[in-house]
Structure 1
Amino acid sequence: MAQLNPPWEHTDQGVVLPDHAAHRVLVTFTYPIALPANSSTALFRVDLRTGAADPVPIDPDGEVAWATGLATSGDRVFVLYCVNREFRVSVLSLESLELLSSHRLPEVRDGHSLLHHDGALLVVSSGTDEVLAYDDRPEGLVPRGAVWRASAEGRDTHHLNSLARHGNSVLVSGFGPRASKLWASAENGYVRDITRDEVVVKDVYHPHTVSVHDGELYWCESHHARVVSRSGRTAGTDGYPRGLGWLAPQLACVGTSQGRKVSKSTGQVANPSDPGMPRGRCGLTIADLAAGRTLGFIDLGALGPEIYDVLPLPS
């Protein structure tokens, strides 16, 4: 990819972006601290130029505990969130971010990510090792059942966590089986094409947020605090990366969460749910993935310790 000139600049408030780049993103928080325990949202719109973050309501009853996956289809945004241990999906207007509707998903356990594909909304149900499908109809979301299972266990044994479209195929990322109670022991992560039922990438340590951009496959290798591509491009982050959106052809916005310290010498970061001292920062890293350079960081720690997903909005 061609290098852009001049490079982006970092400021205390935000990042100086090229005119053609998206400058606003939606960000979901799994444990928001800037809002009451039960709120109308765990979703924020962040202006990357200024660092300003505004809450976006996603639940009509104001009972949101946390939010995870984001997806778009046409002029709509889909947001996966949890209310009293039950998962729901809200539908927003892409232009105004107005709440259009909310739908209960009682079949989903520990919902992580969303993808709108071929007239259906696909949902990663990590707690059941499944990818579930819902037909997107004018009257609402109609459950179709599981379109793929990592196991028949009916519980979280592979920690499936993200979805992406690759041509006519659907990709899913997962940690793979763990050797002990801690997810840090899961060392055989993968990206799998569930349409063709074949492994695309194997032996990845804690992959999150698989993404296909300009024909290249990317993912967050969270335990190693970096974003990597199938061709070997890498960019480091200060924290546990999870959430990857594209602002321009080679410009990415990566969410990072406060993880757990593993080793000063290796720079590894454990899953936030594992024990240990906090390590890293919660915020948004702007990176030139073609050059492997970090260009700026926006600290969002005041909103919460953990980001799950990032979705750029049209300029």
Structure 2
Amino acid sequence: MTDDQTPPAEAPAFELTTSRQFVSWLAETGASLALSTYQSGKLILLGTNRETGKLSIFERTLERPMGIAVQGSRMAVAGLFQVTTFVDAVEAGGPTVQGGWDAVYVPQTANFTGDLDVHDMAYDGDGRLVFANTLFSCLATTSETHSFKPLWKPAFVERLAAEDRCHLNGLAMKDGRPAHVTAVARSNIADGWREHRRDGGVVVDVTSGAVVCEGLSMPHSPRWHGDTLYVLNSGAGEFGRVDLQTGRFVPMAFCPGYLRGLAFLGNHAIVGLSEPRENRTFAGLPLQERLAAEGAAPRCGLYVIDLASGDIVHWMRISGVVTELYDVAALPKARPSLIGFRSAEIRRVISVEG
């Protein structure tokens, strides 16, 4: 290397730190967590090693992973142009496989959707995948003959068009059916949601079509848990619930990051935090003002929130190459792994039905 050459920059490391009790809490639940980060193209599985008592971290590279749906042994992940369904090949209650994994998610089917900018996904009561088709401002399902099959759109969107009119992103299921969605704005023009990021966000009832909560800042991840509808007021860094009697959003906890991804384990909510990007989409949000007032820097990671008190009881922080998360999902086993597409494993893992 000559004197006028600049040495190659080292790739940022993947660093993960936790609060003192995060790992023991996760172990006590008997579950694990799946995180998607489209920014760095990773699907990360967090579990616990029962033999060592330490955190188990397993990651695979996927192309722009976003929404995650889990039902029984199935896990579907939305990507740049396809939805891939993985199936756990380890029988429930069976022995662990080499390496001590009690779950091995193997890719079994893929639906090629094209770049629909798929956000939240969930399985309905019939085992059908339902997803937020953000590009077309609607809810949709996969199709064996087409890119997607539309199921529902908000009344304020006049027609299906590949224009991302309202940035419909979040999906809450209740009793096996789509119940509520979130959108950044009630917009009916192409890319019109961007002018209303600060306070134009809405929660919409799928059955009635009515707006049940408004005035939110870029809301995401609506979820029914018990008899309560929770939502992330992402642009303000707030986790809270929707009072369906009054139409108000009731903040329960402030988290220092842009919020996306919400799952539940018992009486705890697990919320995903991201560092806001320095671009027009994230500029001018209430979150920036709150962070400045608190003298805090934005974080990427997870917060575990006690639903009774609103206290942050555990946390996990990610730094380095990963600065954004999209979705968080709970998996039923303690130490999962996954077969990816970039190693020879996928050639050797073969199963026979029956």
1:98 Cα offset (Å): 2.1
Q: Which of 48, 69, 74 in structure 1 is aligned with 2:72?
A: 74
Q: 1:292 to 1:301 in 2, by over 3 A?
A: same
Contact 1:14–1:50 (8 Å) recurs in 2: no
Matched, 1:105 2:112: yes
Counterpart in the other structure of 2:170:
162
Counterpart in the other structure of 2:15:
none
From the two aligned structures, give the one with the greater helix fraction. 2
Q: 3-state SS of the aligned residue for 1:44?
A: strand
Can you give the 5+ residue segments of structure 1 that lack an aligned partner in the other structure? 1-9, 33-40, 58-63, 270-277
Counterpart in the other structure of 1:65:
63
Separation in 1 of the partners of 2:241 and 2:264? 14
Q: Out of 72-81 and 213-222, give the one that drifted further.
A: 72-81
Counterpart in the other structure of 1:205:
217
Counterpart in the other structure of 1:312:
330
If the length of structure 1 is used for normalisation, what is the TM-score?
Answer: 0.76
1:48-90 per-residue CA deviation (whole Å, 9 max, x = no partner) reads 7845421146xxxxxx3310001122321111112xxx23323
Counterpart in the other structure of 1:214:
226
Contact 1:31–1:65 (8 Å) recurs in 2: no
1:129 Cα offset (Å): 0.9
Q: Report the count of equivalent residues.
A: 276
Q: 1:181 to 1:247 in 2, by over 3 A?
A: closer
Separation in 1 of the partners of 2:260 and 2:216? 15
From the two aligned structures, give the one with the greater strand fraction. 1
Q: 1:129 to 1:292 in 2, by over 3 A?
A: same
1:90-239 aligned within 5 A: 90-93=85-88, 96-106=103-113, 109-119=116-126, 120-134=128-142, 145-150=149-154, 151=157, 152=159, 153-167=161-175, 169-170=177-178, 171-177=180-186, 182=194, 185=197, 187-231=199-243, 232-239=250-257
Counterpart in the other structure of 1:252:
269
Counterpart in the other structure of 2:35:
27
Separation in 1 of the partners of 2:72 and 2:63? 27
The alignment-based identity, stated in percent, is 21
Can you give the 5+ residue segments of structure 2 that lack an aligned partner in the other structure? 1-17, 91-102, 244-249, 278-282, 334-354
1:127-178 per-residue CA deviation (whole Å, 9 max, x = no partner) reads 111211236xxxx798661111232243111111121212354121111146
Matched, 1:46 2:71: no
Which structure has the larger Rg?
2
